[in-house]
């Protein structure tokens, strides 16, 4: 489903596209648009011209595509394969801290072979959202010479594809992962030690996500501590990390520079986008988000962080 | 044990004094100087002229008093009663997140009746560290007209002395408590809702401590989010909250003003003092702490928070 647009792609995002059935203590929502690429592209497209790389099945309805088109990101890299779209279902427990996966149906995602359109390959920014490290490597191989590459991962790949994951880590500028994943991957309880070990494996930056406790950016030259925006209510935490990372790299790509200041501002922007996302299911909140609401929360949040 | 000193007392701290036996996964330390007043006074005395109000038994050795004298806070409010000093023992589990109390011997602390020396009563700053709310009220009644009063509490008092605790909350400027205690006391999971409810009970400020995730100051006019200084190692978390609060109010008392800016800087100062304290058992690290080390960490920490 290629679309022609004049402006060059500044940011390529590869990840999963799926239909999520999510239960929270309050509500159940079936077959909502989800997946790491959906959340990350939706967030990034607020800031920069973004191209999505992923796969859906022939059952992927026009309604879902219309949601993507509403965000305005490029879909030339989204493959449509005969079969069913990836599906995931899970339940969040009482305090929203823990989620249990009820079912995972890989469907067409099982055979996913990312293939980048020609005009994606020269993009300066690349986000390898959470998919198998072997696929992340395949995408890296297709890129010309990206200026800044971010990779996300998850426990599953630490357990099942560690060698490939380490190859990915060696080739990216920034690795992002959850607090518990950082501990699991390094065997270090204290985050600063975990980050130092990970920095030794190659990346110039390690971005550790701590959910409602914020995020920390560890770089060879320093550390940036970022609390989370304090929310009144979390309706659905699904996609928080992906919208955070998508907003982060989208903001970086929009600015074009990767200085320490740009990275810090991008973390603030990513936090704000993620804080909106969890206020509703699926991409519902981001679909309605206005520039005015976003700017107001950025200003409010900056004030909460000022010493 | 009165000491005469010329400068007026700027800050009065009332709390427990005890001998702690602490086990961590690595080490066991028996009968180390502890208690909320010990930690808070040690921290506060880096910044301002502080008077301690507490009780010890006739077994309280000269070695412990020498440690207090090394910090230079005033001991005119420390009573010595016939009998044994309060003792507490506890064990920290593998990741230092949870601690289990093994034994509590109240001893002379069971009959504690705080009695403020005359020259304490006009102090402008007061910290009611964690003791029974009835005793906190008794101290409040003895003060002339303190400019700024901070109270701490704990789950035990929420469970056993809620009516008195609510009386304390109505009479203080700032209530500080742990994240879990704030949830317990208000029945609200989201901290912003818990804080709003607590602000409705009287105080102008609610300071919620989140341990390794930092602290948040909620005021009627705004919110300040404060991450924790990222430590390489935590040897003993005992007293972290008390040193944080002691450093916080000590810094406020030293500045003399209670503006939003002063409160934010005081939170940073409290965090830094607490970060040193957990690097060793008991007051060991604070005893050795130099102004130079403190200043260097304040500068480093400020840089980690700068957007």
* Chain A residues near residue B264 by CB distance under 8 angstroms: 306-307
Would you put residue B126 in left (φ > 0), alpha (ψ -120 to 50) or beta?
beta
Q: Tell me: pLDDT of B3 over 70.
A: no
Secondary structure (3-state) at A192: helix
Per-residue pLDDT reduced to its tens digit, B18-55:
999 999 988 899 999 999 999 999 999 999 999 999 99
Residue in chain A closest to B210 (alpha carbons) equals A213
Residues in Cβ contact with A159 at an 8 Å cutoff, skipping those fewer than 6 apart: none
- State how far the Cα of B28 lies from the Cα of A224, in Å rounded to an integer: 34
**Residues forming a β-bridge with B103:** B89
**pTM value?**
0.93
Inter-chain contact B264–A307, Cβ cutoff 8 Å?
yes
- State how far the Cα of B17 lies from the Cα of B49, in Å rounded to an integer: 19
Per-residue pLDDT reduced to its tens digit, B39-97:
999 999 999 999 999 999 999 999 999 999 999 999 999 999 999 999 999 999 877 77
Share of chain B above pLDDT 70, in %: 98
Tell me the angle at which helices B133-142 and B162-171 cross, rounded to the nearest 10 degrees: 30
Inter-chain contact A304–B265, Cβ cutoff 8 Å?
no
Residue of B293, B307, B294, B155 lying closest to B225 (CA atoms): B307
Residues in Cβ contact with A170 at an 8 Å cutoff, skipping those fewer than 6 apart: A201, A202
ipTM for the assembly: 0.92
How many CB atoms lie under 10 A from the CB of residue A100?
10
When CB atoms are compared, the residue of A210, A230, A305 closest to B307 is A305
Q: How far is CA B223 from the centre of its chain?
A: 21
pLDDT tens, per residue, chain A with 307 residues: 555 556 899 999 999 999 999 999 888 999 999 999 999 999 999 999 999 999 999 999 999 999 999 999 999 999 999 999 999 999 998 777 788 999 999 999 999 999 999 999 999 999 999 999 999 999 999 999 999 999 999 999 999 999 999 999 999 999 999 999 999 999 999 999 999 999 999 999 999 999 999 999 999 889 999 999 999 989 999 999 999 999 999 999 999 999 999 999 999 999 999 999 999 999 999 999 999 999 999 999 999 999 9
Inter-chain contact B224–A95, Cβ cutoff 8 Å?
no
Residue in chain B closest to A223 (alpha carbons) equals B304
When CB atoms are compared, the residue of B192, B234, B305 closest to A225 is B305
Contacts of range B137-142, beta carbons closer than 8 Å, 24 or more positions apart: B137/B164, B137/B167, B137/B168, B137/B171, B138/B113, B138/B114, B139/B12, B139/B14, B139/B53, B139/B114, B140/B168, B140/B171, B140/B172, B142/B114, B142/B115, B142/B116
pLDDT at residue A96, rounded to an integer: 75
* Mutation target vs A (from B96, B197, B227, B303; most A CBs, 10 A cutoff): B227
| Structural tokens at position A36 | 């790491």
Using the Cα atoms of residue B180, residue B211, residue B164 and residue B257 in order, give the sign of their dihedral: negative
Name the DSSP letter for residue A279.
T
Residue in chain A closest to B192 (alpha carbons) equals A232
Secondary structure (3-state) at B72: coil
| Cα of B63 to nearest chain A Cα, Å | 34
| Cα of A242 to nearest chain B Cα, Å | 21
Residue in chain A closest to B183 (alpha carbons) equals A95
- State how far the Cα of B238 lies from the Cα of B36, in Å rounded to an integer: 9
Residues of B with CB under 8 A from a CB of A: 95, 189-193, 210, 213-214, 216, 222-228, 230-234, 264-265, 268, 302-307
Residue of B7, B46, B239 lying closest to B129 (CA atoms): B239
Helix residue spans in chain A (DSSP H) = 36-44, 62-71, 133-142, 155-160, 162-171, 179-186, 191-200, 240-255, 260-277, 284-288, 291-305
Inter-chain contact B216–A230, Cβ cutoff 8 Å?
yes
* Chain A residues near residue B307 by CB distance under 8 angstroms: 264-265, 268, 302, 305
Residues A114, A53 contacting (CB under 8 angstroms): yes
* Chain A residues near residue B217 by CB distance under 8 angstroms: none
- State how far the Cα of B53 lies from the Cα of B77, in Å rounded to an integer: 4
* Chain A residues near residue B232 by CB distance under 8 angstroms: 190, 192-193
- State how far the Cα of A15 lies from the Cα of A129, in Å rounded to an integer: 5
What's chain B's length in residues? 307
Q: In what order do the strands lie in the sheet with A148-152?
A: A74-81, A50-57, A11-14, A125-128, A148-152, A174-178, A205-209, A215-219, A222-226
Using the Cα atoms of residue A105, residue A110, residue A114 and residue A115 in order, give the sign of their dihedral: negative
| Cα of A87 to nearest chain B Cα, Å | 30
pLDDT at residue B300, rounded to an integer: 97
Residues in Cβ contact with A295 at an 8 Å cutoff, skipping those fewer than 6 apart: none
- State how far the Cα of B201 lies from the Cα of A274, in Å rounded to an integer: 32
How many CB atoms lie under 10 A from the CB of residue A115?
13
* DSSP structure string for A162-179: HHHHHHHHHH-SEEEEEH
Beta strands at A215-219 and A222-226: parallel, antiparallel or unpaired: antiparallel
Q: How far is CA B48 from the centre of its chain?
A: 15
Q: Between the CA of residue A79 and those of A110, A152, B176, what are the distances in Å?
A: 13, 21, 54
- State how far the Cα of B234 lies from the Cα of B277, in Å rounded to an integer: 9
Contacts of range B164-168, beta carbons closer than 8 Å, 24 or more positions apart: B164/B132, B164/B133, B164/B134, B164/B137, B165/B133, B166/B201, B167/B133, B167/B137, B168/B128, B168/B133, B168/B136, B168/B137, B168/B140
Inter-chain contact A306–B230, Cβ cutoff 8 Å?
no
Name the DSSP letter for residue B93.
-
Per-residue pLDDT reduced to its tens digit, B218-268:
998 899 999 999 999 899 999 999 999 999 999 999 999 999 999 999 999
Inter-chain contact B232–A307, Cβ cutoff 8 Å?
no
When CB atoms are compared, the residue of A189, A233, A265 closest to B95 is A189
Inter-chain contact A265–B216, Cβ cutoff 8 Å?
no
Residues in Cβ contact with A114 at an 8 Å cutoff, skipping those fewer than 6 apart: A14, A53, A54, A77, A135, A138, A139, A142
| Cα of A261 to nearest chain B Cα, Å | 7
Residues B18, B40 contacting (CB under 8 angstroms): no
């Amino acid at each position: 489903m290629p679309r022609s647009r004049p402006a060059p792609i500044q940011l390529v995002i590869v990840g999963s596209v799926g239909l999520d059935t999510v239960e929270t203590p309050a509500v159940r929502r079936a077959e909502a648009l989800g997946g790491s690429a959906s959340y990350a592209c939706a967030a990034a497209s607020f800031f920069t011209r973004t191209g999505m790389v992923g796969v859906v099945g022939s059952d992927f309805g026009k309604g879902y595509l219309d949601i993507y088109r509403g965000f305005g990101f490029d879909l030339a890299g989204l493959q449509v394969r005969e079969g069913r779209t990836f599906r995931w279902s899970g339940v969040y427990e009482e305090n929203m801290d823990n989620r249990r996966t009820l079912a995972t149906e890989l469907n067409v995602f099982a055979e996913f072979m990312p293939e980048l359109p020609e005009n994606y390959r020269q993009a300066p920014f690349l986000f390898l959202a959470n998919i198998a490290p072997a696929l992340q490597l395949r995408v890296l191989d297709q890129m010309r010479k990206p200026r800044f590459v971010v990779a996300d991962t998850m426990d599953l790949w630490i357990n099942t594809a560690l060698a490939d994951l380490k190859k990915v880590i060696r080739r990216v500028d920034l690795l992002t992962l959850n607090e518990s994943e950082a501990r699991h991957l390094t065997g270090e309880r204290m985050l600063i030690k975990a980050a130092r070990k990970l920095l030794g494996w190659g990346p110039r930056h390690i971005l550790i996500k701590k959910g409602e406790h914020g995020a920390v950016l560890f770089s060879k030259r320093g550390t940036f501590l970022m609390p989370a925006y304090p929310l009144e209510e979390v309706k659905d935490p699904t996609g928080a990390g992906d919208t955070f990372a998508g907003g982060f790299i989208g903001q970086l790509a929009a600015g074009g520079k990767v200085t320490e200041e740009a990275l810090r501002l991008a973390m603030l922007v990513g936090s704000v986008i993620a804080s909106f996302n969890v206020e509703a299911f699926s991409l519902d909140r981001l679909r309605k988000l206005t520039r005015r609401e976003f700017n107001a929360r950025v200003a409010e949040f900056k004030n909460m962080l000022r010493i």
